Structures are given as C-alpha cells and as structure tokens.
Structure 1
C-alpha cells in the first residue's frame, strides 16, 4: 500500500530548489540550442546565396555561363532555363547526366518563381538545403533569357555541428547543475542547521519535561537568534506558569486542609457534646466564607477571560468610590491599629462599572491593610493627571522584592510565601491583584506598582476621564483653582 512520505524542511527546500534550477537550466538550454540552430541555418542560407550571387556576377560580367566555379566542399549548383525548364549548366558536371532539379517543388508549386526560396530536400538518402533563385534580364543584363539557379548544400555538416554543440551543452549544463546543487545543499544545510537544532532541542525539552532548560543561539543578530530568544522567553513564561500553578496547588492544598480541619473539628465537637456551640458555628461560618471568596474570585476571572462577565458602562464618581471603600475598611483599620489616611481627593468622573471599580480599589486597600504591621499607615488619594484620573494606595509594609515586581499581577502569584502566611487566615490566594488588573484594563486604564524593601509599597491606577469631567475641569480652570485639603479617615 502506498504510504505518503513525510518530507523534512531540508528535503522539501532542496527538492523545490533543485527542480526550479533544473527547469530554468532546461529552458535556457532549449532556447540556446534553438538560437544556435537558427544562426547555423542563417549562415548556411547566406553561403548558398553567396554562391548563387557569384554565378549571377559571372553571367553579368561574361555574358555566358562559367566553365567552372569555386564552391565549398560538397556544394552543388544547377542553372535552368526558366521557361523551357532545360538544364543549361551544372556543377559538378555529373549532375548533367541525370538532369533532375535539386528541388523540384518550386517548379510544381508556382511556375512564376518570383523570389528566392530555401527548402530542406531529401536526395539520395541525404538531407540538403536548397536555394532556388530566379534571375531575369534586370539581374544579369538586357537580352538574356530568364534563368533559375539552384544551389544545394548538405545538412550533415550543420547537423554534426548542432550535435556537437548539444553534447557540449548537456555536459556543461549537467556540471553546472551539479555544482549549483552542491552549493545549494551546503547553503541549505547551513541555513537550516539552526532550525534543525531548535526542533531537536524542542523535542528534547518536551520529552524530558525540562522547562528550565534554555536554547543557546548558534548565531547572533539574525532572525534565527530572534526566534531562539522568543522561544526561550516562551519557555520561561511556561516555566513560571507551571511553577505558579504548582505553588498555587500546594498553597491551596495547605489552606484547604486548615479550614476543612476546622470545620471537621467543630462539627465533631458539637456532635460529641450533642449541644449547640456558638463559637464553633462562628468558626465554621468564617471558614466557609473564606472558601466561598476563593470560589468567587476564580469564577470572576474565568468569566472575565471568557467574555461572559456582565459589565456596565455608566457614569462613575470616583471620589464617591474612594470614600465608600475607605468607610468600608475603616473598622478593619482600627482593629489592626493602622492609620487610614485620605491624602487627596478631587471630584473626578469616569465611564465604567462602579461596582467593579469599587471592587478593584477595595482589593488594593485590603491588600495594603493585610501587609501593614500594627501602628503603620495606609494612604489613599485621587487626583487629576492630564486627561486621566490617578488613584494611589500606599502602605508602610515590608515591601516587595524587586525580582517579584514583574509578576505581582499574575494569577496565583504571591511575592513572599512566608510573608503571605504571616497574616494567618487573612492571607489571600494570589487572585486579588489579577482581578484588579483585569478590571482596570477593561476600563482602558493602567495599573502598576512601586515598592522598596523596608519602606512600603504603592499601587497606582490610571483611568481615562469622562468627557463631562474634562469639560467641568476646563470650566473650573477658567475660574478659581480648587485646593481641597487632605482629610483623614481612621
């Protein structure tokens, strides 16, 4: 049964290039042969015409047919009376013994013979090139009868030359194609060697599940090096994703084990005592709420990324969102003995979903409160920056290591595992900042973080202002400048 062959890139490129070169050389050889053949035939016709002209010149000068004439080897010539069709003269003289025209067709086709004609004729088992040239008084002088001159030359010489040319042409073309194919083979090997290396390395990495392994570019500063660099970046990101998921599964397993143990312990305690225990029920409820928040965060991101999350587009007063969030977390701030400060507040309007923007800011403030030690401070502000609204949330926590900053908004990522667990059951799952980034991007905004170890962390959100807010600000700038004072919420 016929099986389809799987061609490699090298084999395919070599085959296509080879066939293309062979086709081009064949076309060139055919054209060159035809041109050489046409030139040879034209040269032969010119020689025939020269011989005929020699006879005409002798007739014009002497008035009679010559006794002899200088002819190239194997040439034959006849002079016929045009009207009586009588052979008057021939060379070599043996032709007079059998007075047959060298080419009878012009006589049969048209008795008028008004111009020279060239034809290939077979005589005596050989091919001849025959010129039939009618001449009259206007050609050889007044009073002379009309004549027909026929000059014949064997085609064997031309055919031998063409055959010799063809053999040389085939030999040279074959050698040329061979050299070109050899050069092409070497060139393709060099060009495709990096791709072969990349493919082999990719297979090794996949088969060995060795994501930390990286490719080393064979050459630099070319497209292959860029491809290797992009592949290494992809490997690094895949490695980070798998590592993040692995760490997330480990963290979730740890976190689920503790709440499930709490639920089981309190349930068994009430079952053993056969009595209602308010503290046990409260612990179970708190644990269930924590698990519910995890499920809700995962569901939010899943719906958001699949485009199935309903979002509103309406007027949002950002100053109201900021004050609402601060009011919502003020009790938690007092409980943790953290000073909550509203540094700056301007009445700014954006277009979007107020609930989602409130959720994003609440995540940032809760994150700041989670990592700020007792006696610390969390500062929140809102001001205009050009055509945008700028929100910031700053804390006096331990800060984030510089190597973790590029990944802080990745799903499931937590910068410091030990620090993350420092807050016990208040610690999150590494989903809050991923949710913040998605919400801000949905509102055509930007979110970024600045942090210094031992000094604290500041999260920034930039959102485009609504047209009505820009118009109102333009009117305010035309009047007196507003200078709202800072207020504290504690």
Structure 2
C-alpha cells in the first residue's frame, strides 16, 4: 500500500467514490439474489386458485424484488459514503491540526516552528514544507529587521548627538556659529540625508520596485567614468588605482545604476586598502557574460564574514569603517542593483591581510562595441 501513501488527494477522493459505488452495487446484487427468487417463488405459488395470471404474479414479484434490493442498496451506499467521508475528514483534520497549531504559534510571534509531513498526499506534504520554510524566512526577516533597526539607530546616534551638542553649545554661548562650525553641522546633516537615501534605495531595490532606464551600455565606458570620479580620493589616500578594460562588451542596463555599483565597489576598496596599496579593476568577457572585478591588496575578509559582507550595516571592522565615514550599506546597495539587472555580485578573499575581490557579473548583449579600429578596445590605464 506504499503507492497509496504517495497518492494525491484527488486520487484518494476518487478511490473513496469508487468504494461507495462498489458497495452499493454489491449490496444491490446480494439483496437481489437473496430476496428476488423467494418473492418470485411466493407470488408464483399464489397463482393457484386465483384469477390472476402467472405473468401478473411474475411482474409483481420482479418489481417488489427490484424495489427492495435498490432501496437496501441505496441505504448501504449512503452508509458507506458517510463512513468513508467521516474517516477521510477525520484523517484530514488530524493531519492538518499540527499545521493549524503552527499557524497559531506564528500569529502569536513564535516563528521557530516545524511542521511534519502529514502523509495524506503530496499536496499536504508540500504545504507543510512550504509553511515550515515560510516560518523560517519570517524568522530571518524578523531578525534582520531587528538588527537593521538597531544598526540604523546606532548610525543615526552619532550625527544626531553631534548636532544636538553643538546646537546646545551655540545656544549657551560656549560655541560660536562660525563658518567651520556650520560646515561641520552641514556635514552631519548630509550624512543623515545620505543614510536615509541609501536605506530607501536598497529597500526599493530588494522589493523589486527600483526603476531602471535600460539601454545598451558600453561597460568599459561606465567603468572608466567611475574610475575617473574616484581617482582624486585614491590619490589623497595614496592608493594606486589601475583599470584594465577594453572588453568591448555591451550590456542592457541602466548606466547610472551600473555606475553606482562600480563606484560603491571602488569606494569600499579604497576605504579598506592602506596607503601604498593597490586596487585593480578588470573588465572582461566570460562567454555570454561580462565581468567587472575590483581587487584590492587591503585588509581582506575572514571566511566567517564573507557570507555577511553584503548585509546592511555589516562591517568587518566597525570602528575603523565608521571613522572613514562609511554608512555600511554601500555593498548592500550594489548587490540589490546587480540583482535588479539579473546579474550577480560575489566577494572572495583568502583571509585577513590578503585583500579582497568583488566580481560583478552581467549578461552580455547580443552586440558589442569595439573601442579601437583593430577591435581590441582601450589599453590599461592608471589613475
């Protein structure tokens, strides 16, 4: 009966209906066979000494036997149907009771639930597995939300405290609202504004609501523009930045959003690479895809931290990163934008002190743009 345990609900209901029909048919046959001949014989004996013909008695015997057998068959079928329905309903109710209990637990806030497969069909087994998975996802979302709110409050605490402290000092006459003080206060306000914009952007992208102006984009050009924008900051920090482009590949993307991804990767590499270090950007074709790799010789990432580097507000070195002005959300934004384009963004590192490599991978468009007449593209450049 192992096949019955694997049967779906429709098959089980069909078998129940067939059982009811068979019981009714068998009852009709048994009653007809047991009652019909006796009634027929009795009516035939009554033909002696009466004016009724044998045919009339035979017809009465037949109709009586048929009516009685069909009536009994109907009663038996109804009883069988009721028994089968009660058994099946009870089986379904007992099987769904754990699911209902788990749903009640989730509604009360307890998301650490496990629902065993009821074993009454693959539909219910899939439902139990989906519910368990949903509860686990809700638990992870709740943990992420709680952690994100705590991190967001922590991020906002510093600029808000600075603003409040200086405003109070100015009001008490301890500080003077000169150009330097106003400039510092403006920086804190801009930091709060950037933080709110970044949170809104990554939330919109993760929910699939990020508007994209898709067009054919020369990826080499996007990378070179991002490198040019970052060259000054790299020079100030004393980090050497090189770019090896010329893949001549075209992707279907939003150039502004794609530039934001590369800029965030470059900004992250710069903040985690010490002076005299180096960051290299490589654009190359990989079959039907295009990859942009940003590799640095900086601090590196521990293996335990690699799965978390794209989480909001996660920092390998929180104190150091906050000192350099990072919001802790740049990589999360880059990942969300990459996924919105149907691409991937991955991180790799051999460990602390070994640098890190972030790779953006996008599908290449059917056409390509050659940057030079010989089709090799632009040469490597240094910023």
Q: Bin the TM-score by the shorter chain.
A: 0.7 to 0.9
**Deviations, residues 306-338 of structure 1 (Å, cap 9, x unaligned):** 777553233422222212212222222233333
Counterpart residue number, 2:268 = 367
Counterpart residue number, 1:444 = 342
* Distance in 1 (alpha carbons) for counterparts of 2:103 and 2:55: 70
* Distance in 2 (alpha carbons) for counterparts of 1:427 and 1:188: 63
CA shift, 1:275, in A, is 3.9
CA shift, 1:358, in A, is 0.9
User: Matched residue of 1:349: which SS?
Assistant: strand
Counterpart residue number, 1:144 = none
Counterpart residue number, 2:7 = none
The total of aligned residue pairs comes to: 369
CA shift, 1:359, in A, is 0.9
Q: Match for 1:426 among 316, 324, 327?
A: 324
* Distance in 2 (alpha carbons) for counterparts of 1:415 and 1:226: 38
Counterpart residue number, 1:387 = 288
Counterpart residue number, 1:414 = 314
2:212 equivalent to 1:311: yes
Counterpart residue number, 1:333 = 234
**Deviations, residues 239-262 of structure 1 (Å, cap 9, x unaligned):** 222222212221221221211121
Counterpart residue number, 2:254 = 353
- Verify the 8 A CA contact 1:379 1:393 in the aligned structure 2: yes
* Distance in 2 (alpha carbons) for counterparts of 1:465 and 1:22: 60
Go from structure 1 to structure 2 and tell me whether the alpha carbon gap of 1:424 and 1:43 turns closer, same or farther (over 3 Å shift). same
* Distance in 2 (alpha carbons) for counterparts of 1:162 and 1:228: 50
**Deviations, residues 22-45 of structure 1 (Å, cap 9, x unaligned):** 97468537864897699759977x
Q: Match for 2:157 among 239, 246, 257?
A: 257
Relative contact order, CA 8 A, sep 6+: which one is greater? Answer: 2
Go from structure 1 to structure 2 and tell me whether the alpha carbon gap of 1:177 and 1:253 turns closer, same or farther (over 3 Å shift). same
Consecutive unaligned residues in structure 2, runs of 5 or more: 1-9
Larger radius of gyration: 1
* Distance in 1 (alpha carbons) for counterparts of 2:260 and 2:249: 18
* Distance in 1 (alpha carbons) for counterparts of 2:283 and 2:65: 96
Q: How does 1:27-176 map to 2 (within 5 A)?
A: 28=25, 32=29, 73-76=45-48, 102=52, 119-120=55-56, 128-129=57-58, 173=76
- Verify the 8 A CA contact 2:269 2:298 in the aligned structure 1: yes
* Distance in 1 (alpha carbons) for counterparts of 2:293 and 2:125: 41
Give the superposed CA RMSD: 4.6
- After alignment, is 386-395 or 269-278 more displaced? 269-278
CA shift, 1:17, in A, is 9.4
* Distance in 1 (alpha carbons) for counterparts of 2:204 and 2:144: 21
Counterpart residue number, 1:177 = 80
- Verify the 8 A CA contact 1:198 1:215 in the aligned structure 2: no
- Verify the 8 A CA contact 1:421 1:427 in the aligned structure 2: no
**Deviations, residues 84-121 of structure 1 (Å, cap 9, x unaligned):** xxxxxxxx6xx8xxxxx646xxxxxxxxxxxxxx753x
User: Matched residue of 2:292: which SS?
Assistant: strand
2:347 equivalent to 1:459: no
Go from structure 1 to structure 2 and tell me whether the alpha carbon gap of 1:231 and 1:335 turns closer, same or farther (over 3 Å shift). farther
- Verify the 8 A CA contact 1:343 1:381 in the aligned structure 2: yes
- Verify the 8 A CA contact 2:32 2:66 in the aligned structure 1: no
Q: Give the TM-score, by structure 1 length.
A: 0.60
CA shift, 1:194, in A, is 4.3
- Verify the 8 A CA contact 1:407 1:413 in the aligned structure 2: no
CA shift, 1:270, in A, is 3.8
Q: Give the TM-score, by structure 2 length.
A: 0.75
* Distance in 1 (alpha carbons) for counterparts of 2:308 and 2:92: 37
User: Matched residue of 1:366: which SS?
Assistant: helix
Counterpart residue number, 1:67 = none
